[in-house]
Structure 1
Amino acid sequence: MAGDRDKQLVAQSGSDGGSEGAPAKKKMAGKHLVLFIILPAIVVLGGGGAAAYFFVFNKPATAETTEKAKAKPEKKKEAKKGEKKEDEGGASFAEGPNGEGFLTLPNVVVNISTADARPAYLKLKLTLQAKDMATAEGIEPLLPRIMDQYTGFLRELRMEDLAGSAGYARLQSELLKRVNLAVAPAQVDAVLIEEMLVQ
């Protein structure tokens, strides 16, 4: 009987030893399950939820804002004397005290040539003066042609060309000549340099 009892103890210890290896494998299988199945599933579901939020829930807000924008009628105010009227292209209109029209152009920034090949920039804020507001408003659709004329001319300037009052007057007359070529048969009376910065 003692022999049978020893065999049972050995069998139990053998089964215990074998069962020690099995839980270790079972633990590793649980970690692999979490790492390779559950964690990616959470990431995919989170990404899907975020995508659904951005694509589904944000659309009505943009649709409402576009409907509101369409519902508002566009009203253009007539410019009173001395009052500026903005345009979408960055240009603005103003009527002078004697009925002349002023068209302020978008800022012009170009690089200019220097003797020592260092970079230099010219920034101009220009206003065109026409005989009346109708002429100034008629010039506005030709802004791309005017800006092309100005950019081509200004890029060829050197620092020495802008020096002193003679350079300023020469620049003003050249700009006037070029704008009148671009807007012909309309006529611009003067090019006013509101701001000139050389850097």
Structure 2
Amino acid sequence: MAETEQADGGGIEAEANAAAKPKARLKMIIAAVGVLAVIGGGAGWFFFFRHHGEETRAEAGPPPKPPAFIELPDMLVNLAGNPGDRVQFLKVKLTLEVKEEKQAEPIKLKLPRVTDIFQTYLRELRPSDLSGSAGLFRLKEELTRRVNLVLAPNEVSAVLFKEIVVQ
């Protein structure tokens, strides 16, 4: 009879062990997936973010050369207006910005043409064309476009206002 009790008792333990084995396997699988996720996340960070900084440093290269500036003579022009209106004047001091100093010499030789094209354009303006920051921005863009047409193949990066007075 002892054998049957041991067999019955052993059967209960076997059933408990059989039920515990799938739970233990499930815990092992979850733990393994968690460990792989942590390792995969670390490896992904390592490959994507670590190399990003090295590429930026490799592309930086030597520092860019400082731009050169060319001063233009002061310009005083009368603005276009309706007949009988009070005459208004525009006084501007301009500077041309070029990318490198070596570009400045050929441009200095053509400054009379630049002054002429600016004078001609500025005399066509009305006081309302210069109102507000949007008007000045449009003026700056138009002067840059015109100077680049005159100076081609040389290029001016920007026309800078040192002083602008509408009177």
What TM-score, normalized by structure 1, do the two folds share? Answer: 0.50
Query: Where does structure 2 lack aligned partners over 5 or more consecutive residues?
Result: 1-63
In structure 2, what is the equivalent of residue 193 of structure 1?
Answer: 161
In structure 2, what is the equivalent of residue 156 of structure 1?
Answer: 124
Partner of 1:106, secondary structure, is coil
From 96, 104, 107, the counterpart of 1:136: 104
Shift of 1:114: 2.6
Instruction: Say if 2:69 is the partner of 1:102.
Output: yes
Shift of 1:98: 4.1
Counterpart residue type for residue 186 of structure 1: N
Query: Where does structure 1 lack aligned partners over 5 or more consecutive residues?
Result: 1-96
Instruction: Say if 2:114 is the partner of 1:146.
Output: yes
Counterpart residue type for residue 108 of structure 1: M
State how far apart, in whole Å, the 1-side matches of 2:155 and 2:119 are: 20
State how far apart, in whole Å, the 1-side matches of 2:148 and 2:112 are: 14
Q: Which has the higher contact order (CA 8 A, sep 6+)?
A: 2
Shift of 1:99: 2.1
Shift of 1:103: 0.2
Partner of 2:164, secondary structure, is strand
RMSD: 1.4
State how far apart, in whole Å, the 1-side matches of 2:68 and 2:104 are: 5
From 92, 98, 101, the counterpart of 1:124: 92
Partner of 2:153, secondary structure, is coil
State how far apart, in whole Å, the 1-side matches of 2:144 and 2:78 are: 21
State how far apart, in whole Å, the 2-side matches of 1:170 and 1:124 are: 15
Shift of 1:176: 0.1
Shift of 1:112: 0.4
Deviations 1:100-158, CA, capped at 9 Å, x for gaps = 11001000111102345211110110000001111112200101110111011000000
In structure 2, what is the equivalent of residue 178 of structure 1?
Answer: 146
In structure 2, what is the equivalent of residue 111 of structure 1?
Answer: 78
> Which has a greater percent of helix?
2
State how far apart, in whole Å, the 2-side matches of 1:98 and 1:125 are: 25
**Identity over the aligned pairs, expressed in percent?**
48
- Residues matched between the structures, number: 103
